[in-house]
Structure 1
Amino acid sequence: MKDAFGAPQSLLVLGGTSEIGLATARRLVARRTRTVWLAGRPSPALDAAAAGLRELGADVHTLAFDALDAASHETALGKVFAQGDIDMVLLAFGILGDQVRDEGSPLAAVRVAQTNYTGAVSASLICAKALQTQGHGSLVVLSSVAGERARRTNFIYGSSKAGLDAFTQGLGDALHGSGVHVMVVRPGYVRTKMTRGLPETPLATTPEAVAESIETGLRRRSEVVWVPGALRVVMSALRHVPRPLFRRLPV
């Protein structure tokens, strides 16, 4: 259960090597989170992530999880919830892809869509059902400002995040009043390994800043969190730019 301050005592990170996921885990462990599950493909990186959190004093477990293998999700995630209640699930997996390459390779484009959308839909529904059975808990899903309006430079990735964002908001409405809190997080450009080598955009942020915003959103029981907050205004304006003009923008 969450403590008197609303901080989760147990955390499941789907995407156990995600830099944002781990920054969030470190921040919560520094508060009151004591049990952490890191779900991801078995690898030295996943083991190292678990070791790092153990050094901070958390009881950490790893779980073999593949976003692309939806048939295995119910069994894999069921193992976590069978061990006890989970106060917070953070869905942090996803891939950016390569827009230019993926346009010419439909299978590569489909992999982006399956990872970011269908894999996330499967995992979210399974975790949401488990949280609902508990009667409490938060499901936090990392979306992206890229999903707010498809851009020529990354519409494959952006469309997958648009679908995920809409799905998560609908799931939150469906679970309203059940005791389960659903929160969508919309970061802009985050300085991670995934974006290394790409041109940095205005209002760029860090995994640590996203983690701080997630913690604040949890405390406030927010439904949507923008990181940084100024992106709410920026994206609201971009959504209303006429399409002929939008095509000319360097975005």
Structure 2
Amino acid sequence: MKDAFGLPNSLLVLGGTSEIALATARRLVARSTRTVWLAGRPSPGLESAADQLRALGPDVRTVTFDALEPGTHDAALGKVFAEGSIDMVLMAFGVPGDQAHDESDPVAAVNVARTNYIGAVSAGLVCAQALQNQGHGTLAVLSSVAGERARRSDFIYGSSKAGLDTFAQGLGDALHGTGVHVMVVRPGFVRTKKSIAPQRITLSTTPEAVATAIEAGLRRRSETVWVPGALRVVMSALRHTPRAVFRRLPW
């Protein structure tokens, strides 16, 4: 069960090598989390991530999970819930794609949509049902401000995140009153080791900052978390910007 501050004792991460997810896991382990499941494709990276978390003290286990194989989600994630109660599921998998390339390669573009949206719908519903069956828990969904309004430079990725965001909000409404809490996390550009965009992007953030915001959201039982918080106002303005003006913006 969660502690007195609403933080989880047990955590399931979908996307076990995500830098944001691992930063969040480290932060929660430093507070109250004692059991962590890292779900992802079997790889040296997944095992390394598990070993690094184990060094901090919790019981860390791995489970095979592939967002592109929805037919396996029920069995794979059911295995985790069969081992005991899960207080929090962090859905943190996804791919950015390559907009310039993917516009001329529909198969690659569909792969982005299948991973970020279709895979998330499948895993989200499986986890939501399991959390509802146990009567409590939080499903935290890593969305993106890219889903707030499609930009010329990343509308394939942005549209997949828009679908994910809408799905997660609707799921939260459907689960209201069941004891299951859905929290949508909308970071701006996140500076990670794999970042390819310039580090000086305005209102960019870091995995550690996102982790801090997730912890604060759990304590407040927030439904939506913006990182950094100023993006709430910025994106509200951009959503209402006339299209003719929006098209002229430098991105």
TM-score by length of 1: 0.99
2:198 pairs with 1:199: yes
Give CA-to-partner distance per residue, 1:44-86, whole Å, 9 cap, x none.
0000000000000010000010000000000000000000000
- How large is the RMSD of aligned CA atoms in angstroms? 0.7
Provide the rounded CA distance (Å) in 2 between the counterparts of 1:122 and 1:42. Answer: 20
Give the corresponding residue for 1:56. 56
Structure 1 unaligned segments of length 5 or more: list them: none
Provide the rounded CA distance (Å) in 2 between the counterparts of 1:192 and 1:122. Answer: 27
Provide the rounded CA distance (Å) in 2 between the counterparts of 1:250 and 1:91. Answer: 31
Residue 193 of structure 1: CA displacement?
3.4
Number of corresponding residues: 250
Residue 6 of structure 1: CA displacement?
1.5
Amino acid paired to 1:160: S
Give the corresponding residue for 1:186. 186
Give CA-to-partner distance per residue, 1:182-206, whole Å, 9 cap, x none.
0000000100134x22134201110
Structure 2 unaligned segments of length 5 or more: list them: none
Q: Which runs of 4+ in 1 moved over 3 A?
A: none
Provide the rounded CA distance (Å) in 2 between the counterparts of 1:211 and 1:197. Answer: 21
Provide the rounded CA distance (Å) in 2 between the counterparts of 1:3 and 1:99. Answer: 43
Give the corresponding residue for 1:90. 90
Give the corresponding residue for 1:31. 31
Provide the rounded CA distance (Å) in 2 between the counterparts of 1:61 and 1:148. Answer: 35
Residue 157 of structure 1: CA displacement?
0.1
Aligned pairs (5 A) from 1:10-159: 10-159=10-159
Provide the rounded CA distance (Å) in 1 between the counterparts of 2:243 and 2:64. Answer: 44
Amino acid paired to 2:237: A
Provide the rounded CA distance (Å) in 1 between the counterparts of 2:112 and 2:25. Answer: 25
Give the corresponding residue for 1:238. 238
Provide the rounded CA distance (Å) in 2 between the counterparts of 1:68 and 1:49. Answer: 21
Provide the rounded CA distance (Å) in 2 between the counterparts of 1:247 and 1:199. Answer: 21
TM-score by length of 2: 0.99
Provide the rounded CA distance (Å) in 2 between the counterparts of 1:183 and 1:6. Answer: 13
